[in-house]
Amino acid sequence: MRHLLDSEHQLIYETALRLAREKLQQHVEIMEEKGVFPSAIWHDLAESGYLGVGVDAAWGGSGGDYLGAALVGQAIARVSPAIALSVGAHVNLCMHNIARNGSPALKQRYLPGLASGSLVGAMALTEPHAGSDAMGIRTRAEPTEDGYLVTGTKTFITNGPIADVLVLYAVTEPERGRHGLTAFVIETTWPGFQVIHSIDKLGMRGSPTGTLAFDRMVVPSDHVLGSPGQGSHVIMSGLDLERAYYAATAIGIMEEMLAQSLSYVQQREQFGQPLAQFQLIQEKLADMATQLDAARVLTYQVLSLAQTGERVSRLAASALLFAAESANRATNQALQIHGGYGYTKDFPIERFFRDAKLLDIGAGTNEIRRILIARELLAER
């Protein structure tokens, strides 16, 4: 990886990996067992500046860029993809979105708290009947004299059950279709908000996922993120960055699977020799390394391009599509390399196997990514 990153980004990655091994690893077991989010990790992450990464010091952030923020997620994913998911929802989906689209007053009000970790952030787009069809959301923000009345339900919201601040998407002008959507920043202490369900999951256990209800919540008009009616633009540009960010999470999973497999094949012997001597095992290692290298090149390029403000929709969809499918192949291959032991809870492989599956689904499924890539290709012609 060294040849792809400058020394500053390499250091960010190595420092975050050290913190993840020293401070986060110890919480993984209880997260798995109980499916709960250990609040102590929030403190450790905040202390190291990782909850404010990618946001200027002027707004209380620890500076850096999108690539640096994604590398923190990548490093954390080597220990716990679930923590990387929650950090991503806070940093990328909520905080970076407010930093990009918020008014100075919204930035002043929320960025310092989010960056210091005193506030937990989340992003609420998906609804029970509107997943892939994100533009089909029905949560209504009815304009009033001095703001909006928000009513509706959001589901699958990462950090939803513990969040203080939400980037929330709602319909302000139903007759205008995708041009009638608006993004808001809201607080979960405001009357009308309720967590109605904490969702239990196959993987990413310990990263809280919730169904949230809004019942005539009063939202002041100065809490619009961007401009009224520009919600679809905020959603789509946010999704591009989300895809690039979570591609790095997939890379972290691949790195860990390759490292653990390389170590195992040199220790485990069958037929009187280490597994590493068998060419069918070597094939798996070679495929994992090749896909990992390719995912890194594409993902880091997308993150760097996004930093310049360039539109990266197709490349970001390609990066996550490739990285997610590669991470799922890598967890499968690592499990196969570990044989029966890989199938047990004595090794962490099965946890990564379950966690990786989410990357095929969240931030628009693999099918939706392919549709988007093809649509952009055809439009380019």
Ligand X SMILES: Cc1cc2nc3c(=O)[nH]c(=O)nc-3n(C[C@H](O)[C@H](O)[C@H](O)COP(=O)(O)OP(=O)(O)OC[C@H]3O[C@@H](n4cnc5c(N)ncnc54)[C@H](O)[C@@H]3O)c2cc1C
Buried b (16+ CB within 10 A) or exposed e, 335-347: bebbeeebeeeeb
Q: Does 136 bind ligand X (CB under 6 A)?
A: no
CB of 291 to ligand X, least distance (A): 22
- Strand ranges, E, within the chain: 121-124, 140-143, 147-158, 165-171, 181-187, 193-198, 209-220, 224-225, 269-270, 273-274
Nearer to ligand X, 92 or 172 (CB): 92
361 near ligand X (CB under 6 A): yes
User: Residue 186 CB, nearest distance to ligand X (Å)?
Assistant: 14
Looking at 57-65, 155-163, 299-307, 343-351, which segment touches ligand X (CB under 6 A)? 155-163
Of the pair 195, 262, the CB lying nearest ligand X is at: 195
With contacts defined by CB under 6 A, name the span among 249-257, 311-319, 327-335, 357-365 that binds ligand X.
357-365
| C-beta separation of 223 from 105 below 8 A | no
Q: How far is the CB of 362 from ligand X (least distance, A)?
A: 5
Of 13 and 322, the one with the shorter C-beta distance to ligand X is 322
Tell me the angle at which helices 349-357 and 231-267 cross, rounded to the nearest 10 degrees.
160
With beta carbons less than 8 A apart as the criterion, state whether 306 and 66 touch. Answer: yes
H or E element, residue 373:
helix 366-380
SS (H, E, C) 120-162: CEEEECCECCECCCHHHCCCEEEECCCEEEEEEEEEEEECHHH
Of 367, 374, 375, 377, which lies in the binding site for ligand X, with binding defined by CB under 6 A?
Answer: 367
The window from 55-63, 65-73, 362-370, 372-380 that contacts ligand X (CB under 6 A) reads: 362-370
Annotate 298-367 with DSSP letters as a single string: HHHHHHHHHHTT---HHHHHHHHHHHHHHHHHHHHHHHHHTHHHHTSTTSTHHHHHHHHHGGGTSSS-HH
Nearer to ligand X, 131 or 274 (CB): 131
* In the complex, least distance from residue 206 CB atom to ligand X, rounded to whole angstroms: 11
158 binds ligand X (CB under 6 A): yes
Nearer to ligand X, 9 or 354 (CB): 354
Q: Catalytic positions, please?
A: 242
Give the H/E segment covering residue 59: none
Would you give the binding string for ligand X spanning residues 161-200, x where CB under 6 A is met?
----------------------------------------
The site for ligand X (CB under 6 A) is made up of 89, 122-126, 131-132, 156-158, 201, 204, 209, 358, 361-362, 364-365, 367-368, 371
